[in-house]
Amino acid sequence: MTSYTLSPSGMTLIKTFEGLRLKAYLCPAGVPTIGYGHTGSVKLGDTITAAHAEHLLREDLRRFEAAIDRLVAVPLTQGQFDALVSFTFNVGTAAFQRSTLRRVLNTGEYDAVPSQFKRWVYGDPKKPPLLGLLRRRHAEIARWLS
């Protein structure tokens, strides 16, 4: 299997939706977060520089790139790979691994993947879709189709 790396367009996609926060905060899931969505060993009150946030993002992305390489059994375009890294960065590797999206993709049903992205727009399935997740999924679908 080919080993992929995130493109500059993929990096921009993730940075746009994660946003840059130089002071630790609690994300909607209640997890201490800093930089561009970094959660590893973060404590409330922590602060970092923009350069450190960039470094943490690049380290985090290596894990997600490797996860996509490991979990996807079919060839991908650069746009498809970028979309999957962004998606997995957002929902987590375990969720992607268990997802119908991954199962459908690995059977070669590329055309069914965009509708699978659209299912991941809820913070709580009992509540309406989150606008930020709707926007992110639409951007990921556009990257997938590019």
* Enzyme catalytic residues: 18, 27
* Domain parsing of the chain, residue ranges: 8-145
Q: What digits encode the pLDDT tens for the residues 62-83?
A: 999 999 999 999 999 999 999 9
Which residue type, as a one-letter code, is found at position 14? I
Tell me: pLDDT of 28 over 90. no
User: Average pLDDT, stretch 42-54?
Assistant: 96
Q: Smallest Cα–Cα separation from 40: which of 53, 51, 49?
A: 53
The torsion angles phi and psi of 55, rounded to 5 degrees, stand at -60, -45
Tell me: pLDDT of 109 over 90. yes
Residue listed under structure tokens 């995130």: 6
H or E element at residue 140: helix 131-145
CATH 1.10.3720.10 fits 8-145, yes or no: no
CA distance to 50, 100, 146, per residue, from 115 (Å) = 35, 11, 16
Q: What one-character-per-residue DSSP string does 70-129 give?
A: HH--S---HHHHHHHHHHHHHH-HHHHHH-HHHHHHHTT-GGGHHHHHTT---SSTTSPP
State the pLDDT at residue 119. Answer: 95
State the pLDDT at residue 1. Answer: 46
Q: Judge whether 62 and 72 are in contact, CB under 8 Å.
A: no
State the pLDDT at residue 2. Answer: 55
